[in-house]
């Protein structure tokens, strides 16, 4: 890379030019470059989603000698009368509301913890990152062991004189248990993302704060936190999306129970669509799911709108 | 030819031996084996069926046979009646009076315990003629609990998932006098799954947990817990026989309890059938006829330590000869086995029952839960036109 | 949301990696507490995985007997390689491993090319429908794979295929069914877009003056600058590709094309051998862990120091 280029890159990026759409040549090239991705996204994302929307209004079955029939909104009527559906909706929302601040907050704590020059920083950073690269299937099986009434977690609690509950067997704790293990698994990713955000904050800001005699807490509130604005939005959105899609852990650890305490929309969709073979009905659940996520995304967009202005 | 046996060396080897023998016995056809892991086998088959790429010969879990026959995935096995006449009824899959499948073996449910546990506490050892009644069983659990020797007096393996729930717990329901669906016409579950007998079953089932007799959720491996002395009575399948015998020399395999209608156990294990899309049905039938011989029943059942389906084969299998230690299992199958309802609606019924039973165990109101299950099952039967 | 900057893209100032280094050393007490917190966190994240590896050397009955205490984490008792021998007898591990590597590498490799090209067009070219295209791509981010699995299965059954015997219909039981649907990835496009958008546009103009075409700008100027984005995308695409579980179960039948994660199912029978499950979980996890321990340093550093190296 030439020095001139480096210099150019270190200057702040100028505001984006607003002008007429690019030249014809640019348009053609742009579409050519987008073509592979566009074809793939349409084929493997948009078409299946569209199909879901159509199937939601039919009585299609996974296995049946009879062709599917259009049945209007029957599936939705049935759905809204179904207690399991409301439980799924409730759990999905609770899971998301709890895990988003919990997981991102702890991940930020971890990031602050390893963002210092101390012996073994790299070692710790690696350890915290390990669960992320472990398959969620493996992780679920592991935690199944640890959550047993006389398993690892409860025997550790017993050392402190606490009688641990039957984590996955008790409706009061099952969702909490899933939240804890999910946060444990995914926290490493968000730690790294926070870490990257932290390291974009210029060191001289901290030095200035030091000169002003700011306490650690003031430094965090006035330098670190505002400096992480974009990171925050990014993490908020990625965790929310991941949280809504909760499925694998539930499927492997609790199958939605006990007493519907851990069933989620995605789990219910797979359960009815695949195991109970009611494709049309499952598509209706998926459709409700899409709408829900869309609403939440729009709300988030609204809440973070002023911060987006650059 | 597809089988669910990947990862199960003994059974796979036995099946491969049959295939090799068949391939050598004639020139016309060649059968090739492809093995799948059991846990996801049904998913593989359904996916293949939906794309019409099923193999000619495949094995099927017994209760799924009517569903697949109705959906047109399976073809009836013509001219096989005589060959399977001696088979245990639970190992032959029929739908609308036609035979679609047969299996080499069955498995049985049993209460595993140790003679010393029972004798030391003055508990009667039940027999086929005189199994435990519910009261007797409850009293035995109370006695065992009072010893303080066990974490739980019994373990019903509630940590297992999927088909285990209807397989293991619906027979208890049936012993009380209820059932999964009305077997007269297979149209509705009303009155059998939510009748007074069913409520009685549900109340008792839940009381096992509230009385501290069984863990609400068993450990990941209940047999290991039994071997480690955490439970005194293990409700499980005959597949635990080997491991528990290795661990204790006084292990006993007791009949299931009698809640008024005699002990019941689930019948029907993996069975062989032919796909409707098979291009060479004659060849597939030739294999299935060849493979239905006693010799192969003895081979597969013997190698997998399961219950041979025919008596003549049983004589050849170690442990199932006269006075064999495993004969008791065959007796259980003969005396107690009840197949899960042979209706195409079974997969739905099974998942619905699983949810209901789990909820009941967790303290949901029995009447309300079972009424809901009945409503769901009836709605599904109706939406499929009663599979007519 | 479209304007969110992923930190990979944030490269305004070359912040020193450890900006606390230059400041006064924190008091002893704080350092001790900090270290204690780190160690506790390391135990929380590391012990379950240690348990997995240790248990893989123990017989089943001992795993359960040890569950209640510290010996669950210690290599004590009747240790042996029996579980591993069992694993290799049950599962064609070499085939599975080869398949997983092939599938992951192709997904990541093709994904980087396809997604970066699309992102390049979106970020640096101007054409009609640009905003809409970006909006649609971002909207697909919210769809969890599980709810599309069934319609997607139906769709891949209809796709044309070819082998040595000629053309036929359906993609079941092939490599491509495990690769092609996952190449185009909205999240990867988004990350590349963020990054490309932050590279000064003057570079393009300078190159155009020199007579370079857009493809050349993409290949020779922008991509070489995008190392950190490539690393991030590679990791975020690799993990799901390697961990695919539900989909290969549905679409593959023969062991010749199945990946390692499906192998877990070979051990989940009614009479499970948990020792073998732990052994299998270990051999499919540990290589990835090692890869990431080696890679992690450059991953984090490349994000943090992207402004310096270029």
Same domain? For C214 and C123 the reply is yes
Q: How far apart are CA A181 and CA A174, in angstroms?
A: 11
Residue C122's CATH number: 1.10.3720.10
Buried b (16+ CB within 10 A) or exposed e, A170-208: bbebbbbbbbbbbbbbbbbbbbbbbbbbbbbbbbebbee
Q: How far apart are CA C217 and CA C213, in angstroms?
A: 6
**Residue A209: count of CB within 10 angstroms of its CB:** 18
Which residues in chain A are closer than 8 Å to C20, comparing Cβ atoms? 115-117, 206
Say how many CA atoms lie within 13 Å of A127 toward its Cβ. 20
Higher pLDDT pick, B183 / A9: B183
Q: How far apart are CA A9 and CA C307, in angstroms?
A: 9
Among chain C residues, CA nearest to A35:
C118
Number of domains forming the structure of chain C: 2
Which residues in chain A are closer than 8 Å to C151, comparing Cβ atoms? 47-49, 51-52, 55, 283
Q: Is C7 on the interface with A (CB under 8 A)?
A: yes
Tens of pLDDT, residue by residue over A68-122, are 788 888 889 888 888 889 999 999 999 999 999 999 999 998 888 887 766 777 7
**How far A76 CA lies from chain B's nearest CA (Å)?**
15
- The residue range of the domain holding C187 is 91-309
Query: Residue B338 has what DSSP assignment?
Result: E
Burial class (CB in 10 A: 0-12, 13-18, 19+), A111: buried
Same domain? For C72 and C97 the reply is no
- Chains meeting C at 3+ CB pairs closer than 8 A? A, B
Q: How far apart are CA C164 and CA A234, in angstroms?
A: 47
Residues 6+ apart with CB under 8 A from B287: B1, B19, B22, B29, B31, B57
Same domain? For C45 and C108 the reply is no
Whether B33 shows a pLDDT value over 60: the answer reads yes
Which residues in chain A are closer than 8 Å to B215, comparing Cβ atoms? 149, 166, 169
In this prediction, residue C165 carries a pLDDT of: 67
Contact B355 A144 (CB under 8 A): no
Which residues in chain A are closer than 8 Å to C13, comparing Cβ atoms? 200, 202
Q: How far apart are CA A92 and CA A245, in angstroms?
A: 8
Residues 61-120 of C with CB under 8 A from A: 67-69, 72, 114-115, 117-118, 120
In this prediction, residue C145 carries a pLDDT of: 83
CATH fit for domain B109-265+345-387, picks 3.40.640.10, 3.40.190.10, 2.30.30.90, 3.40.50.9100: 3.40.190.10
Same domain? For C194 and C285 the reply is yes
Same domain? For C60 and C181 the reply is no
Q: Which residue(s) pair with B307 in the sheet?
A: B106
Contact C285 A135 (CB under 8 A): yes
Which residues in chain C are closer than 8 Å to A274, comparing Cβ atoms? 149-150
Q: How far apart are CA A184 and CA A131, in angstroms?
A: 7
Tens digits of pLDDT across chain A (310 residues): 333 333 333 333 444 443 344 567 778 888 888 899 999 999 998 899 888 889 899 888 777 777 778 888 888 988 888 888 999 999 999 999 999 999 999 999 888 888 776 677 778 888 888 888 888 888 988 888 888 877 788 888 888 888 888 888 888 899 999 999 999 998 888 887 888 788 777 878 888 888 888 888 888 888 888 888 777 877 888 788 888 888 888 988 888 878 888 999 989 988 888 777 788 888 999 899 888 888 887 887 777 665 444 4
Domains and CATH numbers, chain A: 74-308 (1.10.3720.10)
Contact B161 A256 (CB under 8 A): no
Higher pLDDT pick, B232 / C267: B232
Mean pLDDT of B27-55: 79
Q: How far apart are CA C262 and CA C244, in angstroms?
A: 8
For all residues of chain B together, what is the average pLDDT?
88
Same domain? For C66 and C164 the reply is no
Q: Is C270 on the interface with A (CB under 8 A)?
A: no
pTM, to two decimals: 0.82
**Residue C48: count of CB within 10 angstroms of its CB:** 24
**Residue C6 lies inside a defined structural domain of this protein:** no
Q: How far apart are CA C157 and CA A237, in angstroms?
A: 34
Least confident of B2-6, B48-52, B69-73, C1-5: C1-5
Same domain? For C114 and C227 the reply is yes
Residues 6+ apart with CB under 8 A from B286: B26, B28, B29
Tens of pLDDT, residue by residue over B298-313, are 888 888 888 888 888 8
Taking alpha carbons only, the member of A190, A135, A139 closest to residue C288 is: A135
**Residue C144: count of CB within 10 angstroms of its CB:** 19
**Residue B331: count of CB within 10 angstroms of its CB:** 14
- C-alpha distances in angstroms, C278 versus A137, B242, C258, C281? 12, 22, 20, 5
Tens of pLDDT, residue by residue over B133-178, are 999 999 999 999 999 899 899 999 988 877 889 999 999 999 999 9
**Residue C214 lies inside a defined structural domain of this protein:** yes
Tens of pLDDT, residue by residue over C6-25, are 333 333 333 444 444 444 55
**Residue C141 lies inside a defined structural domain of this protein:** yes
Where in chain B does DSSP place strands (E)?
2-6, 34-37, 57-61, 74-75, 92-95, 98-102, 105-106, 109-114, 152-155, 231-237, 251-254, 265-267, 270-275, 307-308, 337-339
Shared fold status for B2-107+268-339 and B109-265+345-387: yes
Contact C215 A279 (CB under 8 A): no
Which residues in chain B are closer than 8 Å to C253, comparing Cβ atoms? 2, 34, 36, 44, 48
Contact B68 A63 (CB under 8 A): yes
Give me the DSSP letters along C150-175.
Answer: HHHHHHHTTSEEEETTEEEE--TTSS
- C-alpha distances in angstroms, A230 versus A244, B262, C9, C20, C201? 22, 69, 11, 22, 22
Which pLDDT band holds residue C222 (cuts at 50, 70, 90)?
confident
Q: Is B40 on the interface with A (CB under 8 A)?
A: no
Taking alpha carbons only, the member of B27, B29, B37, B64 closest to residue B49 is: B64
Asked if B331 contacts B173 with a C-beta cutoff of 8 angstroms, the reply is: no
Whether C1 shows a pLDDT value over 70: the answer reads no
**Residue C15 lies inside a defined structural domain of this protein:** no
Tens of pLDDT, residue by residue over B189-206, are 999 999 999 999 999 999
**How far C123 CA lies from chain A's nearest CA (Å)?**
10
Which residues from B are below 8 Å from C when comparing CB atoms? 2, 6-9, 34-40, 43-44, 47-48, 50-51, 53, 160, 164, 219-221, 223-225, 227-228, 237, 239-240, 243, 247
For all residues of chain C together, what is the average pLDDT?
78
- Chains meeting A at 3+ CB pairs closer than 8 A? B, C
- ipTM comes to 0.78
Same domain? For C191 and C60 the reply is no
Task: Output the CA angle B25-B98-B282, nearest 5 degrees.
Answer: 30
What is the third-level CATH fold of B2-107+268-339?
Answer: D-Maltodextrin-Binding Protein; domain 2 (3.40.190)
């Amino acid at each position: 890379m030439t020095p001139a280029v480096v210099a150019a890159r270190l200057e702040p990026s100028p505001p984006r030019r607003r002008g007429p759409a690019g030249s014809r040549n640019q348009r053609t090239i742009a579409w050519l470059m987008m073509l592979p991705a566009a074809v793939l996204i349409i084929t493997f994302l948009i078409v299946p989603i569209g199909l879901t929307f159509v199937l939601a209004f039919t009585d299609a079955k996974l296995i049946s000698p009879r062709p599917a029939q259009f049945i209007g909104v029957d599936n939705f009527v049935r759905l809204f009368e179904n207690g399991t559906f409301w439980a799924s909706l409730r759990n999905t929302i609770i899971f998301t509301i709890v895990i988003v601040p919990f997981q991102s907050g702890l991940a930020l704590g971890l990031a602050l913890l390893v963002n210092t020059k101390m012996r073994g920083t790299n070692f710790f950073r690696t350890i915290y990152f390990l669960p992320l690269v472990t398959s969620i299937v493996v992780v679920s099986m592991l935690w199944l062991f640890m959550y047993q009434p006389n398993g690892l977690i409860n025997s550790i609690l017993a050392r402190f004189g606490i009688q641990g509950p039957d984590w996955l067997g008790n409706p009061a704790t099952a969702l909490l248990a899933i939240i804890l293990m999910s946060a444990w698994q995914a926290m490493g990713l968000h730690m790294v993302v926070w870490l990257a955000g932290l390291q974009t904050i210029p060191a001289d800001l901290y030095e200035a704060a030091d000169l002003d005699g700011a306490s650690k807490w003031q430094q965090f509130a006035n330098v670190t936190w505002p400096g992480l604005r974009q990171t925050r939005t990014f993490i908020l959105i990625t965790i929310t999306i991941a949280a809504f899609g909760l499925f694998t852990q539930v499927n492997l650890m609790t199958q939605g129970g006990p007493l519907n305490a851990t069933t989620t929309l995605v789990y219910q969709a797979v359960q009815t669509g695949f195991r109970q073979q009611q494709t049309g009905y499952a598509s209706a659940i998926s459709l409700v799911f899409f709408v829900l996520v869309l609403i939440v995304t729009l709300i988030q967009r609204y809440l973070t709108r002023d911060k987006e202005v650059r | 030819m597809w089988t669910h046996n990947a990862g199960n060396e003994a059974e796979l080897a036995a099946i491969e031996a049959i295939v090799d023998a068949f391939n050598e016995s004639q020139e016309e056809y060649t059968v090739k084996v492809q093995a799948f892991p059991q846990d996801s086998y049904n998913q593989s088959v359904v996916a293949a069926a939906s794309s019409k790429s099923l193999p000619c010969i495949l094995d099927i879990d017994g209760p799924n046979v009517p569903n697949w026959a109705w959906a047109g995935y399976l073809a009836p096995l013509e001219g096989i009646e005589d060959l399977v006449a001696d088979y245990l009824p639970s190992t032959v899959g029929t739908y609308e009076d036609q035979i679609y499948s047969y299996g080499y073996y069955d498995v049985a449910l049993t209460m595993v315990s140790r003679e010393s546990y029972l004798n030391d506490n003055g508990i009667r050892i039940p027999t086929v003629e005189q199994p435990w009644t519910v009261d007797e069983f409850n009293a035995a659990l109370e006695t065992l609990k009072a010893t303080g020797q066990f974490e739980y007096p019994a373990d019903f393996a509630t940590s297992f998932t999927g088909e285990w729930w209807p397989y293991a717990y619906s027979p208890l329901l049936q012993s009380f006098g209820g059932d999964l669906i009305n077997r007269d016409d297979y149209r509705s579950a009303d009155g059998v799954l939510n009748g007074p007998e069913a409520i009685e079953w549900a109340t008792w089932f839940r009381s096992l947990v509230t009385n501290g007799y069984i863990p609400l959720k068993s450990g990941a491996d209940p047999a290991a817990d039994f071997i480690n002395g955490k439970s005194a009575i293990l409700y499980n399948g005959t597949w635990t026989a080997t491991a528990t015998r290795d661990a204790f020399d006084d292990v006993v395999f007791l009949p299931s309890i009698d809640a008024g209608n005699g002990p019941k156990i689930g019948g029907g294990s993996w069975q062989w059938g032919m796909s409707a899309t098979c291009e060479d049905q004659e060849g597939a039938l030739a294999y299935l006829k060849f493979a239905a011989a006693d010799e192969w029943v003895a081979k597969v059942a013997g190698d997998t330590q399961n219950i041979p389906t025919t008596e003549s084969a049983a004589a050849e299998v170690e442990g199932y000869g006269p006075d064999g230690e495993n004969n008791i299992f065959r007796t259980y199958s003969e005396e107690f086995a009840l197949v899960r309802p042979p209706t195409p609606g079974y997969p739905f019924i099974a998942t619905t029952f699983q949810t209901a039973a789990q909820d009941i165990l967790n303290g949901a109101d029995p009447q309300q839960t079972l009424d809901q299950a009945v409503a769901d099952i009836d709605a599904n039967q109706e939406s499929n036109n009663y599979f007519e | 949301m479209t304007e969110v900057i992923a930190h990979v893209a944030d490269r305004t100032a070359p912040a020193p990696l450890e900006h606390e280094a230059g400041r006064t050393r924190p008091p002893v007490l704080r350092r001790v507490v900090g270290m204690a917190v780190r160690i506790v966190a390391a135990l929380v994240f590391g012990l379950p995985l240690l348990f997995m590896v240790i248990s893989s050397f123990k017989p089943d009955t001992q795993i359960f007997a040890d569950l209640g205490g510290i010996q669950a984490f210690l290599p004590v008792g009747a240790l042996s390689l029996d579980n591993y021998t069992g694993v290799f007898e049950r599962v064609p591990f070499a085939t599975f491993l080869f398949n997983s590597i092939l599938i992951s590498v192709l997904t990541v490799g093709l994904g980087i090319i396809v997604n970066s090209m699309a992102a390049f067009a979106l970020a640096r070219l101007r054409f009609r429908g640009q905003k809409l295209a970006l909006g649609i791509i971002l909207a697909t981010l919210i769809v969890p794979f599980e709810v599309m699995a069934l319609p997607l299965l139906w769709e891949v059954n209809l796709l044309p295929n070819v082998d040595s015997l000629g053309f036929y219909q359906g993609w079941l039981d092939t490599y491509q069914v495990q690769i092609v649907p996952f190449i185009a990835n909205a999240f990867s496009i988004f990350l590349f877009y963020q990054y490309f958008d932050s590279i000064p546009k003057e570079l393009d103009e300078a190159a155009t003056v020199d007579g370079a075409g857009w493809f050349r700008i993409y290949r020779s100027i922008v991509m070489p600058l995008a190392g950190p984005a490539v690393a991030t995308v590679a990791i975020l695409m690799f993990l799901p590709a390697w961990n695919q579980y539900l989909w290969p179960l549905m679409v593959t039948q023969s062991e010749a094309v199945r990946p390692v994660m499906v192998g877990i199912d070979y051990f989940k029978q009614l009479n499970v051998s948990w020792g073998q499950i732990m052994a299998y979980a270990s051999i499919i996890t540990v290589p990835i862990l090692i890869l990431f321990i080696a890679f992690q340093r450059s991953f984090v550093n490349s994000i943090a120091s992207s402004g310096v190296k270029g």
